[in-house]
Amino acid sequence: MTNQDTAQRPALRSQRLNQITHEPHSKLDALVKAHAPFETQANFARFVVAQYLFQSELAALYNDAELTAIVPDLPDRCRAEAAKADLADLETDVPAPIAGAVSNPSKAEALGWLFVSEGSKLGAAFLIKRAVGLGLSETFGARHLGEPAGGRAEGWKRFVKTLDGLELSAQEEAELDKGAIDAFNRFTVLLEQAYTPELA
């Protein structure tokens, strides 16, 4: 098998998810940069609004008994409360929910959403450094970007190892893919909402 064949057919489920979400991920990164969240605390507060909305929508998944049976430390991984505390630090109101949140997804679809949420903790390692330039930290204003207990890389490796080891049907694989793509698209919607003039 050539390297090209391998690139076209990722050996691991997590690699496939990274591949199929490359486009929405790139679009989201560009949108984040366009809103310049690290130029001012006010800009950053809008970013935290989007993070809070996204994490609060996923709180039910992080506390789901069936999903916790697969990933035992899942409830501890949720960042909704950290983002809420950040909003208080930044003297920003907790936003009202925005229509369109994920609702009762299948187990596989939910894992796709969690894959995106957990993966974002790796990027947060870079974002927290930028937040420090605004006078924020893992204990004030940027808690949701803080290092998880046990370390970012270790937590991600454990999650991916579990995900890659699951026995899933072809239908479930498709649901997993859908969940991951939907998660990126949903965060993009929330980010755009967070920076709309009437909210800012």
Residue range 96-151, pLDDT digits in tens: 999 999 999 999 999 999 999 999 999 999 999 999 999 999 999 999 999 998 89
Distance CA 77, CA 117 (A): 10
**Domain region containing 160:** 36-194
Instruction: Answer yes or no: is 27 within a domain.
Output: no
Q: Reply yes or no on whether the pLDDT at 3 is more than 50.
A: no
Instruction: Answer yes or no: is 157 within a domain.
Output: yes
Instruction: Answer yes or no: is 47 within a domain.
Output: yes
What is the DSSP track for 71-110? STTHHHH--HHHHHHHHHHTT-PPPPP-S----S--HHHH
- 14: nearest Cα among 155, 161, 186, 171: 161
Give this prediction's pTM.
Answer: 0.93
Instruction: Answer yes or no: is 102 within a domain.
Output: yes
Query: Cα torsion for 74, 121, 50, 100, to the nearest 10°?
Result: -50
Instruction: Answer yes or no: is 16 within a domain.
Output: no
Average pLDDT for the chain: 93
CATH code at 85? 1.20.910.10
Instruction: Answer yes or no: is 28 within a domain.
Output: no
Compute the 3-state secondary structure of the chain and give helix, strand, coil in percent, each to the nearest 5. Answer: 70, 0, 30
Burial 100-126 (b: 16+ CB within 10 A, else e): eebeebebbbbbbbbbbbbbbbeebee
Instruction: Answer yes or no: is 11 within a domain.
Output: no
Give me the number of domains the chain comprises: 1
Per-residue confidence (pLDDT) for residue 11, from 0 to 100: 82
Residue range 54-106, pLDDT digits in tens: 999 999 999 999 999 999 999 999 999 999 999 999 999 999 999 999 999 99
In the structure, what pLDDT confidence band is assigned to residue 8 with cuts at 50, 70 and 90?
low
Distance CA 31, CA 188 (A): 8
Instruction: Answer yes or no: is 21 within a domain.
Output: no
